[in-house]
Structure 1
Amino acid sequence: MEKERKRKPDERFKIANREAVIGVALAVFNFVWWFAFAYGLGGRTPDNYSYVFGLPAWFFYSCVLGFIIMALLVIFVVKFWFVEVPFDEEEGEQT
């Protein structure tokens, strides 16, 4: 009987898991940002709202500024933390 070869865990799964955790963390950050500003500043009566560029401050900070910050964070993360992963198996690892 041939001994089973112990296969080294594929490095691509480690990279994919790390990038998935980063993606979930960004999504959670986006929700917390939105929730904090939308319900923190938006919980008052409309008579007490302050305005930024003609929009209620809670809307500006949660939706407009939040979108800009998230877009910049995603660009930064993809550019500097994510890595290119080949989908092909390397020749030495084929069975």
Structure 2
Amino acid sequence: MSNNKTDWRFKVANREALIGCGLALLNFVWWFGFAYGMGSRPVEEYSYILGMPDWFFYSCVVGFILITALVIVVVKFFFKEVPFEEEEETQ
């Protein structure tokens, strides 16, 4: 059984977890910025896109599409396949 402090898979997993947390934080900042930034105006000043208030369109629709695309790109180019089997110790 390999030691988790020296196993290279833990470094990969930690790096990918940090990337995932960064994407989640980016998603929240995007959503919060548009939802509360543009959504805090009086209703009479709202602009509408496809029948939705602009703040909702940008925070929920565009944000979802953007984050989905970013997750696909990150998984395809920055994540790597890691075997789950235990590696044999060579002595």
Per the TM superposition, whether the score is higher than 0.5 is yes
The runs of at least 4 consecutive aligned structure 1 residues that moved more than 3 Å come to none
Structure whose CA Rg is larger: 1
1:1-95 superposed matches below 5 A = 9-91=6-88, 93=89
Paired residue total: 89
How has the CA–CA distance of structure 1 residues 8 and 38 changed in structure 2, closer, same or farther, with 3 Å as cutoff?
closer
RMSD (Å) for aligned C-alpha atoms: 2.0
Q: Percent identity?
A: 65
SS in 2 for 1:78: helix
Q: Give the secondary structure class of the aligned counterpart of 1:44.
A: coil
> How far apart in 2 are the matches of 1:71 and 1:90?
34
* C-alpha distance in 1 between matches for 2:69 and 2:50: 21
TM-score by length of 1: 0.87
Gaps spanning 5+ residues in structure 2: where?
Answer: none
Distance 1:24 1:31 in 2: 11
Q: Which runs of 5+ in 1 are unaligned?
A: 1-5
Q: TM-score, normalised by structure 2?
A: 0.91
Identify which of structures 1 and 2 has the higher relative contact order when contacts are C-alpha pairs closer than 8 Å and 6+ apart.
2
Q: Equivalents in 2 of 1:78, 1:15: separation in Å?
A: 13
